[in-house]
Amino acid sequence: MKILVPVKRVVDYNVKVRVKSDGSGIDLANVKMSMNPFDEVAIEEAVRLKEAGIATEVVAVSAGLANSQETLRTALALGADRAILIETDVELQPLAVAKLLKAVCEKESPQLVIPGKQAIDDDSNQTGQMLAALLGWPQATFASKLVVNADKTAAAVTREIDGGLETIEIALPAVMTTDLRLNEPRYATLPNIMKAKKKPLETTTPAALGVDVAPRLKTLKVAEPARRSGGVKVADVAELVEKLKNEAKVI
Amino acid sequence: MSEYVAPLRDIQFVLKELAGLDQVAQLPGYEDATVDLVDAVLDEAAKFAEGVLSPLNIPGDREGAKWSANGSANGDGPGVTMPAGFKEAYALFAESGWTALQSDPEWGGQGLPKLVGAAVTEMWKSANHAFSLCPLLTGGAAEALSLCGSDTLKKTFLEKMTSGVWTGTMNLTEPQAGSDLSAIRSRAEPQADGSFRIFGQKIFITYGDHDMAENIVHLVLARTPTAPEGVKGISMFVVPKFLVNADGSLGARNDAWCVSIEHKLGIHASPTAVMAFGDHGGAVGYLVGEENRGLEYMFIMMNAARFGVGLEGVAACERAYQRARDYARDRIQCVETGVRGGPRVPIIRHPDVRRMLMSMRAHAEATRALAYVVGAAHDVATRHPDTATRRRNQAFVDLMIPVVKGWSTEVGIQVASTGIQVHGGMGFIEETGAAQYLRDARISAIYEGTTGIQANDLIGRKMAREGGATLNALIEEMRALDADLGQASGEHFAAIHRRFAAGVEALAEAGRWIVDTYGVDVRAASAGATPFLMLLGIVAGGWQMARAALIAQAKIDAGDTDPFYQDKIVTARFFADHILSQADGLADCITFGAPGVMALDEDRF
Amino acid sequence: MPILVIAEHDNAVLKPATRNAISAATQIGGDIDVLVAGSACAAVAEAAARIAGVTRVRLVDAAHYADHGAENLAALVVANAPGYSHVLAPATAAGKNFLPRVAALLDVAQISDIVAVVSTDTFVRPIYAGNALATVQSVDPVKVISVRGTAFEAAGEASPVSVEALAAGPDLGLSRLVGRELTQSARPELTAARVIVSGGRALGSSDNFHSVLEPLADALGAAVGASRAAVDAGYAPNDYQVGQTGKIVAPDLYVAVGISGAIQHLAGMKDSKVIVAINKDPEAPIFQVADYGLVGDLFDVAPALAAALR
């Protein structure tokens, strides 16, 4: 069975982002970029399925600027067999990415697509679900455990839900989005980094896939959240409880 | 909280813009080392350093390597247990292929350039100095074996050492033979089967025993019965912890035991072993290369090891700088200087703290630039098709290895100490973490030849012996750059030009004096050896910072808005005013200072 | 045009996050319909009908909605979406699961996790883990929105509106619930906890540490942490330690009890959303980072706080 893993190039999770002073967005100039952490988990799961003899091929796909190639090379170094880059300089929103992935799925016919549950830049948490909907496939979001049935026609997925876990059985082909507890991604080995350079990486475009990727949401401004207003002293327990309930709204 | 973050931006700048990664990637055999591949390697190495090695640095220091009388794997003898997590980290390190980065592809290595190895090694050392020594020593031992060992020895050991399944050591020092290796007494007795039995005690053996690998390959210096006295009678032997069967499997335990480990100021997680060879009938050893050429062979790995230790200086600067910077941003003390009243501010606002941080940063960048440039020259010297180019680069490498080793590590200590100072009282508290860098950095200026040994090597073998030719060629190159600096506009470049021009002339004058004096009064020249090493380090560091500033300006002129370039120019200017400005004083100290060093009678001390 | 809010429930009880979503719908303005889809969930529909701001409740009761599977639920919402200007759901695990399916099937963008309503088509949502707030405008005919509950008041009670039954959609049969494993009331793990109660050396003993902090932690549903000083003194186990050399935490609420605020401790918790400090020394550095400081004897304050919260 073939597995498709969408990966996204995002600001490294260690970077403390800065809002541009003109409020037009986040200052991304010269900021360290990495693979979205949830996508690393997704690649890891796919590669483990291949190592276990369940999957036959792992295809990584990314959409965006040409430098998303670096992220695809990382995916290849982690064990993906080949990669597809959908190159565009249009700002891609989840619906557009889902449509692009649908077009790729129609060509590639994977049995399982494993996106990360969300990208740590826009925090949308939509693409996997949207892709499943567009394909009319079942979905299993926020997965913490995956067991593919022996005949590979279905899978049992344990999902992280509010208050605990639930296990669902889904028919394949399907989309499963990863949560962090699904696995612990490996480090790429040096020989695999070297080999990744030689693995096939195919480039296409939204136009070639016949997808309109025009954004549907307009970002009017980006602002920093309000700073901590430190040092307020309260007189007694009653005032503290009142502030926590009504001002901070944390209890 | 200050976690190590690999300084990839500066590393990449130095690799590409100063050290010429592109040219290195054109050398025969290095075609794979393209910029995008190297970026991918650096990214992953950074992840490993930050995610696996750095978190073990403080716990490793606190727990330390432990020796016990029945600490061997099966309890049949003494042995060393590593701090928690090291064994697993090492296994992952080896599985990930990091031990093989620079190694010969014939034995499973990736054959990447030393320049790339330098960048990756710096990260290991910043993240965890104690850990980094195990692969460093293994790489050195494997290099010596691959250059000097017989085919049988290579086949037996190199694949496993390259993959990191086995580790390696260098056994030189004996209690009476420290810096003076001519005093080595360990014996090697020839056996009928062509092997030798080794007897003797070695001390200060880094990773002489540990539980991270299934075998340890000791390279041991010893004398055969017919050997002449002194350095010309020393041979090198391979003495594995476990003998290796013909099929490559492990055989009997060899008579090579770690009988204790040292209690040290720093690098607590790195076991520094006292090794006893032959206490129970003789340790089986195999001659490497020819008899009596052991010291020569050892110097092959010594040069690589000295370069590696020099990177410890870079690494110490970087790590100490990061922690001090993070602390200075967070720590709020006193109101802004020159302001009455007002809120208390983070100490990074205070000029003296700022000066300390700039000094740390400038030293980190300058030592890195110089070390990588020397690493690239090594690659050119070994691989370039043109003989003259190879020779010229080799001469430069030979001249600069003692400087990379001596200057960077002395600076590393100084910067780690400044890092503590930035922390104030908290810096003196172990829990803060700044003190460990100083304790760990302290050894770097000692092992693989003290700074004094480096300085004597520099002024004797590397300068006086050839009449200062390589140094003079370097000075000419510096003067050419200074002419470019004179053409650059702006206040920063005016300052850099002024200090650099003076620094180069101070270097030239002191260099001339050393070469001239060495033949007539070697003691006077030697009295100025270490100051000269520091002078050359400062001026060469300033040379690289000035080059960096010019490149940065060109980028800015071409419309690049990356603030990195503006920062680079400012840092270069700081280096010029605060560090290069010491060159004149050092030159005076060299040319006028010998009488003050030597005049007192020994019994007046 | 009216707004459709999808209720979250377990077939017996309406989940409170629904009230926050209704409150967001109220801010957008217009009639508000609540869709309750489930199995044997009439009680939920009745509860929804009593929420202030709701115009009417639409109830779909069929076995194949019992487990709220995303595929069936999304198809049902899409079938009933025509005529609505906005479709809202709480940004809970359940809401995040099905709502993007709705948006995709409607061929519109989803606006995730909104924290403010600017106008009928413009909303504020956090990006980069809350390090920035984006104001976004939707150009789609229908706005599909998930609502961050903590950013909107819970809508209150009002006199009940009508509950109207809707026809169920088909069972797509794409997935099947095997089982659920819901966490019991055990204390949350430190680094994952929403609320942390942390104690320092001022607690004076291991017995005090537990007897004073645990009731407070129970009242808040909180994990328990400790300063290094408290751990070193043996009042709390090692894995409780919050700080530079311990665990790094960033809960919504961090209550520091008898912790002076050494730099190493602050390093481990200064990214908490709200910090409360209880300390008898008014000059303790912890107060510099605390949103709410209460100067007082922790042995009086902590039990009183626990009692007030219970």
Best of A12, A32, A190 to substitute, by most chain B Cβ atoms within 10 angstroms, is A190
Element (H, E) at B478: helix B469-487
Quick check: A240 and C179 CB within 8 A? Answer: no
Catalytic, B448? Answer: yes
Q: Spell out which residues of chain B touch residue A77, defining contact as CB-CB under 8 Å.
A: 40, 44
Is residue B345 within 8 angstroms of chain C, CB to CB?
A: no
| A–B interface: beta-carbon pairs under 8 A | 57
B164 in a structural domain: no
CB B219 within 8 A of CB B238: yes
For the sheet with C143-147, list strands across it.
C110-114, C143-147, C86-90, C3-6, C32-38, C56-61, C163-165
- Alpha carbon B238 to chain centroid, angstroms: 24
Three-class secondary structure of residue C271 per DSSP: coil
Which tens digit of pLDDT belongs to each residue from C2-12?
Answer: 999 999 999 99
CA atoms within 13 A on the CB side of A239: 10
Quick check: C267 and B332 CB within 8 A? Answer: no
Three-class secondary structure of residue A12 per DSSP: coil
Residues spanned by the domain of B541: 463-600
| CATH code for the part of the protein at C3-165 | 3.40.50.620
Quick check: C132 and A129 CB within 8 A? Answer: no
Quick check: C264 and B431 CB within 8 A? Answer: yes
C184 annotated as belonging to a binding site for a ligand: no
User: What are the C-alpha distances in Å from C246 to residues B157, C192, C232?
Assistant: 42, 15, 12
Element (H, E) at B459: helix B451-459
> Which candidate, B46, B78, B65, places its Cα nearest to that of B130?
B65
For residue A175, the tally of other CB atoms under 10 A from its CB is 29
C259 annotated as belonging to a binding site for a ligand: yes
Looking at CA atoms only, how far is residue A141 from chain C in angstroms?
Answer: 6
Chains contacting chain C through 3 or more C-beta pairs under 8 A: A, B
Q: Spell out which residues of chain B touch residue C288, defining contact as CB-CB under 8 Å.
A: 332
Three-class secondary structure of residue C277 per DSSP: strand
Residue type, C114: I
C258 annotated as belonging to a binding site for a ligand: yes
Spell out the domain ranges in chain C: 3-165, 190-309
Is residue C250 within 8 angstroms of chain B, CB to CB?
A: no
Among B106, B448, B476, B505, which one carries the catalytic annotation? B448
Residue B149 backbone phi and psi in degrees, to 5: -80, 160
Looking at CA atoms only, how far is residue A166 from chain B in angstroms?
Answer: 31
> Which candidate, B138, B86, B136, B2, places its Cα nearest to that of B444?
B136
B501 in a structural domain: yes
Chains contacting chain B through 3 or more C-beta pairs under 8 A: A, C
Of the candidates A14, A77, A191, which has its C-beta nearest B5's C-beta? A14
Best of C231, C232, C263 to substitute, by most chain B Cβ atoms within 10 angstroms, is C263
Quick check: C244 and B1 CB within 8 A? Answer: yes
Quick check: A237 and C308 CB within 8 A? Answer: yes
Minimum Cα–Cα distance from C110: chain A residue: A126
Three-class secondary structure of residue B121 per DSSP: helix
How confident is the prediction for chain C on average, in pLDDT?
92
Is residue A32 within 8 angstroms of chain B, CB to CB?
A: yes
Quick check: B1 and C267 CB within 8 A? Answer: yes
User: What are the C-alpha distances in Å from A34 to residues A14, B39, B97, B439?
Assistant: 10, 12, 21, 34
Asked whether the domain spanning C190-309 has the same topology as the one spanning C3-165, the reply is yes
Looking at CA atoms only, how far is residue C21 from chain A in angstroms?
Answer: 16
Element (H, E) at C5: strand C3-6
Quick check: B432 and C245 CB within 8 A? Answer: no
C260 annotated as belonging to a binding site for a ligand: yes
Which tens digit of pLDDT belongs to each residue from C62-116?
Answer: 999 999 999 999 999 999 999 999 999 999 999 999 999 999 999 999 999 999 9
Q: Return d(Cα B442, Cα C222) in angstroms, integer.
A: 45
Q: Return d(Cα B31, Cα B22) in angstroms, integer.
A: 10
Looking at CA atoms only, how far is residue B38 from chain A in angstroms?
Answer: 9
Quick check: B433 and C228 CB within 8 A? Answer: no
Quick check: A34 and B43 CB within 8 A? Answer: yes
- Cα-based angle B67, B70, B72 (whole degrees, multiple of 5): 75
Three-class secondary structure of residue C202 per DSSP: helix
Minimum Cα–Cα distance from C262: chain B residue: B426
Name every residue whose Cβ is closer than 8 Å to that of residue B107 and which is 6 or more positions away in sequence.
B142, B146, B154, B158, B159, B161, B162
The confidence score (pLDDT) of residue B1 equals 44
Q: Helix crossing, B469-487 with B387-423: angle to 10°?
A: 70
Q: Which class is C190-309 in CATH? A: alpha beta
- Cα-based angle A59, A65, A70 (whole degrees, multiple of 5): 55
DSSP letter for each residue of B514-582: HHHHHHH-HHHHHHTHHHHHHHHHHHHHHHHHHHHHHHHHHHHHTT---HHHHHHHHHHHHIIIIIGGG
Is residue B100 within 8 angstroms of chain A, CB to CB?
A: yes
Is residue A193 within 8 angstroms of chain B, CB to CB?
A: yes
- pTM of the predicted structure, to 2 decimals: 0.88
Minimum Cα–Cα distance from C288: chain B residue: B332
Provide the token pair at B35: 């910029």
Best of B3, B42, B96, B322 to substitute, by most chain A Cβ atoms within 10 angstroms, is B96
CB A115 within 8 A of CB A39: yes
Q: Spell out which residues of chain A touch residue C173, defining contact as CB-CB under 8 Å.
A: 171
Quick check: C96 and A141 CB within 8 A? Answer: yes
Q: What is the DSSP letter of C72?
A: H
Looking at CA atoms only, how far is residue B557 from chain A in angstroms?
Answer: 18
**pLDDT band, very low/low/confident/very high, at C232 (cuts 50, 70, 90):** confident
The confidence score (pLDDT) of residue C184 equals 55
Q: What is the DSSP letter of B174?
A: B
Looking at CA atoms only, how far is residue B562 from chain A in angstroms?
Answer: 7
Best of A12, A72, A194 to substitute, by most chain B Cβ atoms within 10 angstroms, is A194
Is residue A71 within 8 angstroms of chain B, CB to CB?
A: no
Q: Chain C neighbours among B 118-157 (CB < 8 Å)? A: none
Provide the token pair at B162: 């390259």
Q: Which class is A2-246 in CATH? A: alpha beta
Residue type, C107: D
In our burial notation (b when 16+ CB lie closer than 10 A, e otherwise), range A206-245 reads: beebebebeebbebeebeeeeeeeeeeebeebeebbebbe
Quick check: A225 and C181 CB within 8 A? Answer: no
Is residue B431 within 8 angstroms of chain C, CB to CB?
A: yes
Provide the token pair at C229: 């000083």
Residue type, C117: V
How many domains are contained in chain B? 1
> Which candidate, C102, C112, C105, C115, places its Cα nearest to that of C138?
C112
Q: Return d(Cα C286, Cα C201) in angstroms, integer.
A: 14
Which tens digit of pLDDT belongs to each residue from C204-223?
Answer: 999 999 999 999 999 999 99
Is residue B401 within 8 angstroms of chain A, CB to CB?
A: no
Residue ranges of E strands in B114-211: 166-171, 187-190, 196-206
Quick check: A26 and C128 CB within 8 A? Answer: yes
C279 annotated as belonging to a binding site for a ligand: yes
Looking at CA atoms only, how far is residue A199 from chain B in angstroms?
Answer: 13
Of the candidates B39, B97, B563, which has its C-beta nearest A189's C-beta? B97
Best of A237, A246, A249 to substitute, by most chain C Cβ atoms within 10 angstroms, is A237
For residue B484, the tally of other CB atoms under 10 A from its CB is 13
The number of residues making up chain C comes to: 310
Is residue B432 within 8 angstroms of chain C, CB to CB?
A: yes
Q: Which residue in this structure is represented by tokens 């005016």?
A: B494
C261 annotated as belonging to a binding site for a ligand: yes
The confidence score (pLDDT) of residue B54 equals 97
Looking at CA atoms only, how far is residue C113 from chain A in angstroms?
Answer: 8
Q: What are the beta bridge partners of residue C277? A: C256, C293
Low-confidence ranges of chain B (pLDDT < 70): 1-2
Low-confidence ranges of chain A (pLDDT < 70): 163, 227-230
CB A67 within 8 A of CB A84: no
Provide the token pair at B110: 């990736």
Quick check: B37 and A70 CB within 8 A? Answer: no
Cis amide prior to A173 (ω within 30 degrees): yes
The confidence score (pLDDT) of residue C282 equals 83
